């Protein structure tokens, strides 16, 4: 973010004060003016070095590039009106309020075109308030919602986004109404319940002096459930009144659940209680709240915690979104950083479970991995410094984690066992174990599959001809080769994705690429820490490319997606189907080309996906199959035998699912034929595969009636915010 010369914070409390502290610490602001109602709080802010100048006069905003309104909700619009005459032309005004629709409308009107307003809600805080509670770390790793509307200035929006990202927040955009509906359930109702429960405890205490004091005897559940009851009453008056409609709707839903439980208790119906508590408990234990968010996503209340029912789109998808950082690059960046000397900073590592698996495994190997806001910091130990793990290394669902680590650990001075979930346990490991054996590696598999035990030992270089094009295998061999003395050459039958080749040089390694399908490294080499910016994942972008292509009237911009030629097969396939996809200013993050992709709806026609296109779109097959189902004509997929050994047998999974929705499909060993037609509603299985689940969410958008996806919790493997992004696009606020 470009540093700011002078900003004003109106209301130097917990949020305003914390932002000033965080910006100052990062050296991102030269001067902070604090404006408030009481000089007493402003004096605390001055004494703590939060602000440079203070006062109660609204005219103090003159000369400020940016003004943050961090007052209680009810005074936001009057404050905007009071400062309006004193603002510099072009100044940006933003807020931090917990209610957005009314605030965006009223503040925009109050500013009367004198400034550029951007609605924002940093979702962070504690029960404490005032400048004394300000904390520079308050926003780290938390979410901030920006709520642009039709007239919002794009540059002001980008600056406000950069501001919150700079203090460590994960920024998402949403329509103001969508924000209010969501926050009603996730914040406003919980506060209201905390006030109500505390009120009931107070009433109990008043019942008589003999009764034990509930505040003294409270257990952890009472303490957890009432912690936020210590919040500021004025602030909560404004939030509850400011979001009354959405709050009361959400409260109604909670009340229904309370009544349901109450009825079951009254009726002595133990089975019913087990069912109700069981569903809640499973949802919490699975830590899958990200996908169990029905509000605004047009996903009906979940029948089971891992099931989602997605309604057809009622209108076009519109908005500008970003997708999680590319998973392939993130895994590599984390692993290379672990093997490097020094601390590597990686920006843009997505929050999916696969990335988490890699981070967890690295921690178990003694590597320092810390996520702070938008960055992951990895303190590497060098090739020789990894520590023998104490237990089994759990790679979860991630094949990339397991295969790349097998190559790394093959040369380690200890043994290690790698395991994963039921899906990973079905995936072939011989493809990596056999070529590694040619370098002297000793790896035991379980009938060719995980769990695998790697018996680390010194390796020798080798020249290896692979019989399957696989970037995972190629990378495992390169990482093993870097630990030998001599030249290792790996040749594939066709060129697979080349992220390893592009990223290793950033860590100071030398890697030769004599031909597109050949790599060579000469070991031993030492890696050095660096900074990596992970571009948006083209595989995640593909869902939106298809969704926006097939939902009539849609127009979606995907910001900052990788357009690495070894990965953008889906764009080529969709263009061959007639899709309207344009790429805007291509920039580079490291050696990876990046673009903003704009896609507009159109009618798709059938195509053939085979050979190189299939290889470059291998992970996008599930959603391309949905595109084929929605297209006119018969699409043929071939040369995709690999699809049978991904997170699920993706050919079978898509064929079964599409047939259940009324589409005629003929399966073959390495692909399938899809007869485009009218998608109907129904129930499909994800087969515990994130991409299958997301593909059917996209299918639901153009289906005749809702589609229920069993195992939708798998979505969290790569894009936990997927349904939230969909909700934003449905409302045109993406």
Q: Any idea which residues carry the catalytic annotation?
A: 619
Of 622-641, binders to ligand S3P (CB under 6 A) are: none
Question: Which of 320, 397 has the CB closer to ligand S3P?
Answer: 397
Residue closer to ligand S3P by CB (options 6, 327) is 327
654 touching ligand S3P, by CB under 6 A: no
CB of 660 to ligand S3P, least distance (A): 25
Nearest distance from residue 14's CB to ligand S3P, in Å? 42
State how far the Cα of 199 lies from the Cα of 587, in Å rounded to an integer.
56
Distance (Å, whole) CA 516 – CA 499: 12
Q: What are phi and psi of 309, to 5 degrees?
A: -110, 120
Binding mask 272-311 for ligand S3P (x = CB under 6 A): ----------------------------------------
| Count of residues engaged in binding ligand S3P, rule: CB under 6 A | 10
Q: Please, which of residues 328-357 interact with ligand S3P by CB under 6 A? A: 328, 331
- Selected from 400, 401, 406, 554, the binder of ligand S3P by CB under 6 A is 400
Q: How far is CA 333 from the centre of its chain?
A: 17
What are residue 120's DSSP bridge partners?
146
Q: Give the binding range for ligand S3P (CB under 6 A) out of 52-60, 112-120, 467-475, 541-549.
A: 467-475
Helix (H) or strand (E) holding 170: strand 170-173
CB of 647 vs ligand S3P, minimal distance in Å: 8
Distances (CA, A) of 593 to 127, 283, 501, 537, 547: 44, 39, 14, 12, 24
| 618: contact with ligand S3P by CB under 6 A | yes
CA dihedral 612, 606, 549, 325 (to 10 degrees): -20
Work out how close the CB of 524 gets to ligand S3P at its nearest, in angstroms, rounded to a whole number. 23
Instruction: Round to whole Å and give the CA distance between 480 and 519.
Output: 13
Stretch that binds ligand S3P, among 438-446, 468-476, 592-600, 716-724 (CB under 6 A): 468-476
What are the distances in angstroms from CA 631 to CA 350, 604, 605? 31, 5, 5
Helix (H, G, I), strand (E, B) or coil at 179: helix
User: Which CB atom, from 70 or from 471, has the smaller least distance to ligand S3P?
Assistant: 471
Closest approach of ligand S3P to the CB of residue 351, in Å = 17
Binding-site member from 156, 386, 471, 561 for ligand S3P (CB under 6 A): 471
Could you tell me the strand order of the sheet in which 608-609 lies? 608-609, 634-637, 671-675, 664-668
Lookup: tokens for 707: 């589609």
Site for ligand S3P in 163-222 (CB under 6 A): none
Copy the structure tokens of residue 727.
């909700």
Q: Which stretch binds ligand S3P (CB under 6 A): 7-15, 135-143, 465-473, 583-591?
A: 465-473
Query: What span, in angstroms and rounded, lies between the C-alpha atoms of 365 and 387?
Result: 5
- Report whether 477 contacts 436 (CB < 8 A): yes
DSSP state of 111: H
- 69-98 positions binding ligand S3P, by CB under 6 A: none
Kindly state the smallest distance separating residue 669's Cβ from ligand S3P, in Å: 17
Identity of the residue, 41 or 328, whose beta carbon is nearer to ligand S3P in the bound complex: 328
Does 423 bind ligand S3P (CB under 6 A)? Our answer is no
Phi, psi of 502 (to 5 degrees): -80, -30
Among 206, 220, 182, 472, smallest CA distance to 299 is for 182
Paired tokens of 101: 């629709």
Q: Which is nearer to ligand S3P, 295 or 647 (CB)?
A: 647
Minimum CB separation of residue 403 from ligand S3P in Å reads 7
Q: Which residue in the set 306, 501, 619, 713 belongs to the binding site for ligand S3P (CB under 6 A)?
A: 619
- Tokens read off for 112: 């009367």
Handedness of CA 716, 542, 621, 429 (dihedral sign): negative
* Closest approach of ligand S3P to the CB of residue 473, in Å: 6
Of the residues 496, 564, 648, 718, which one makes contact with ligand S3P according to CB under 6 A: 496
On whether the CB atoms of residues 467 and 506 are closer than 8 A, the answer is no
Stretch that binds ligand S3P, among 85-93, 128-136, 245-253, 464-472 (CB under 6 A): 464-472
- Residue from the set 94, 129, 355, 472 that interacts with ligand S3P by CB under 6 A: 472
DSSP sequence for 352-396: SHHHHHHHHHHHHTT-EEEEETTEEEEEEE-GGGPPPPSS-EE-T
Q: Is 470 in the site for ligand S3P (CB under 6 A)?
A: yes
Gap between the Cα atoms of 439 and 464, Å rounded:
9
Query: Which of 297, 472 has the CB closer to ligand S3P?
Result: 472
Q: Which residues bind ligand S3P (CB under 6 A)?
A: 328, 331, 400, 470-472, 496-497, 618-619
């Amino acid at each position: 973010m470009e540093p700011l010369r002078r900003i004003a914070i109106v209301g130097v409390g917990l949020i305003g004060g914390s932002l000033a502290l965080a910006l100052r610490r990062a050296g991102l602001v030269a001067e902070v003016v604090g404006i408030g109602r009481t000089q007493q709080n402003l004096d605390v802010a001055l004494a703590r070095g939060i602000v440079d100048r203070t006062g109660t006069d609204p005219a103090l905003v003159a000369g400020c590039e940016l003004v943050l309104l961090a007052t209680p909700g009810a005074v936001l619009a009057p404050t905007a009106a009071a400062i309006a005459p004193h603002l510099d032309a072009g100044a940006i005004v933003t807020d931090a309020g917990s209610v957005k629709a009314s605030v965006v409308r009223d503040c925009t009107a109050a500013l009367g075109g004198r400034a550029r307003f951007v609605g924002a809600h940093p979702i962070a805080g504690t029960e404490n308030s005032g400048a004394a509670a300000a904390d520079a770390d308050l926003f780290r790793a938390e979410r901030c919602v920006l709520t642009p509307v039709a007239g919002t200035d794009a540059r002001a929006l980008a600056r406000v986004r950069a501001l919150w990202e700079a203090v460590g927040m994960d920024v998402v955009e949403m329509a103001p109404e969508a924000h209010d509906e969501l926050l009603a359930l996730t914040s406003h109702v919980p506060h209201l319940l905390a006030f109500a429960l505390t009120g009931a405890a107070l009433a109990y205490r008043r019942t008589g002096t003999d009764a034990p004091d509930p505040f003294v005897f409270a257990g952890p559940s009472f303490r957890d459930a009432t912690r936020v009851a210590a919040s500021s009453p004025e602030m909560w008056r404004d939030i509850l009144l400011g979001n009354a409609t959405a709050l009361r709707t959400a409260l109604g839903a909670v009340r229904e659940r309370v009544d349901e439980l109450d009825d079951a208790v009254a009726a002595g119906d133990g089975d019913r209680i087990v069912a109700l508590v069981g569903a809640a408990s499973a949802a919490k234990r699975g830590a899958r709240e990200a996908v169990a968010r029905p509000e605004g996503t047009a996903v009906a209340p979940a029948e089971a915690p891992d099931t989602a029912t997605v309604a057809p789109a009622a209108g076009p998808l519109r908005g500008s979104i970003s997708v999680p950082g590319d998973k392939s690059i993130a895994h590599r960046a984390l692993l290379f950083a672990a093997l490097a000397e020094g601390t590597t900073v990686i920006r843009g590592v997505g929050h999916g479970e696969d990335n988490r698996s890699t981070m967890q495994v690295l921690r178990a190997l003694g590597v320092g991995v810390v996520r702070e806001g938008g960055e992951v910091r990895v303190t590497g130990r060098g090739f020789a410094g990894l520590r023998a793990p104490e237990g089994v290394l759990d790679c979860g669902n991630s094949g990339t984690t397991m295969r790349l680590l097998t190559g790394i650990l093959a040369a380690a001075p200890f043994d290690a066992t790698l395991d994963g979930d039921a899906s990973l346990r079905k995936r072939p490991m011989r493809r990596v174990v056999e070529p590694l054996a040619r370098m002297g590696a000793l790896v035991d598999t379980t009938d060719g599959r995980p769990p695998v035990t790697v018996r680390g030992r010194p390796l020798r270089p080798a020249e290896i001809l692979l019989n399957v094009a696989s970037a995972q295998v190629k990378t495992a061999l390169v990482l093993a080769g870097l630990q030998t003395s001599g030249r290792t050459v790996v040749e594939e039958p066709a060129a697979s994705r080349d992220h390893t080749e592009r990223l290793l040089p950033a860590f100071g390694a030398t890697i030769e690429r004599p031909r597109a399908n050949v790599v060579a490294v000469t070991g031993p080499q030492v890696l050095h820490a660096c900074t990596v910016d992970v571009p948006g994942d083209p595989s995640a972008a593909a869902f939106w490319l298809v969704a926006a292509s097939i939902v009539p009237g849609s127009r979606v911009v995907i910001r900052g997606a990788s357009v690495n030629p070894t990965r953008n097969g889906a764009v080529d396939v969709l263009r061959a189907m007639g899709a309207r996809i344009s790429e805007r200013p291509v920039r580079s993050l490291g050696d990876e080309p990046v673009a903003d992709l704009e896609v507009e709806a159109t009618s798709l026609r059938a195509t053939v996906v085979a050979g190189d296109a299939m290889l470059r779109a291998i992970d996008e097959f599930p959603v391309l199959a949905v595109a084929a189902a929605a297209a006119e004509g018969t699409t043929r997929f071939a040369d995709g035998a690999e699809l049978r050994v991904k997170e699920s047998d993706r050919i079978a999974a898509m064929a079964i699912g599409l047939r259940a929705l009324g589409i005629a499909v003929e399966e073959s060993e390495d692909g399938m034929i899809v007869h485009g037609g009218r998608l109907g509603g129904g129930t499909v299985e994800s087969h515990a595969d994130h991409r299958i689940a997301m593909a059917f969410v996209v299918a639901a958008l153009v289906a005749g009636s809702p589609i229920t996806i069993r195992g939708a919790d798998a979505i969290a493997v790569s894009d936990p915010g997927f349904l939230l992004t969909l909700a934003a696009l449905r409302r045109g606020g993406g």
